[in-house]
Structure 1
């Protein structure tokens, strides 16, 4: 199975956020950055799938300036097989959502893929749009804000749970599909020291 997971560099949620002088973007000076928390759930789910299906290959993808490389290093330290950095002049948080989704989907279209995962939203812009837009650009189904995911025995179909007002919606479908991950889907693991050291050596 081939899986693509989309991750983004965002300001650490413990940081004090200030706007740029023109009020258009976040002032990045003196901020610390990390992987978008919802993307951590998406990434963890890919790793759990591979824990069950050893022939699974995971490609982590991010878009942004040179600073975005750190989230790919984190993904590599956790064990993804490949990392792809779509390099831009501007930081990820200053790139229009439509453009981000278009570029990412164009790259994914060059890959062999069965499953695409994203976080349900990025905590810096709260757009919740990149995952659905990727599905639209690739013309494949999507299931958003999932809290449970299970591949069926044929490895070609799935069951996904998503929270809705007053209950849980259970959706069955076939691959390929875009999923967006919600809190509660899993508990993201931490990288090991060996994983961190190995990630530093990879290019």
Structure 2
């Protein structure tokens, strides 16, 4: 593991994924986490992570981005202490939430997406991961399918986004990581921060 993208979804992560692949990195994104490691992530989301499990899952991967890996960026750094962290953020939490809600609404209106996660074994297992992810990351209450990743308390969802970003920057600063604001055009209103992890803490 060389890079952990600690960004919430809808913060330019797909553009960053493409850019890193163009540079020759092997990248694992949301779909890869969900469909290649569903059992592992379901266990992590329910019971917590273990360094040796994350090490085994991503030992031959250069970059991880998007959820659920982004939420466990600290645990991934413990498993891969030489990795770098990239954090991208929207210009405001309101802007982030509007984009996030738009995507969730689009998924709910996609018959193909809903059918796959209702009628295929792989889709049903991924649905379990998505449901648990919604609870852990976004504080979404348990909801019957096809509802998922929806929390009527918008304030809580924005707070989760804000606290996550603040936590990444605070921890990096606490351990004397090099935090360099480097604006990158990853989408409207998106900012990027590269956090270099030192070899000795």
TM over 0.5: no
TM-score for the superposition, normalised by structure 1? 0.34
TM-score for the superposition, normalised by structure 2? 0.34
Higher helix proportion, which one?
2
Higher relative contact order (CA 8 A, sep 6+): 2
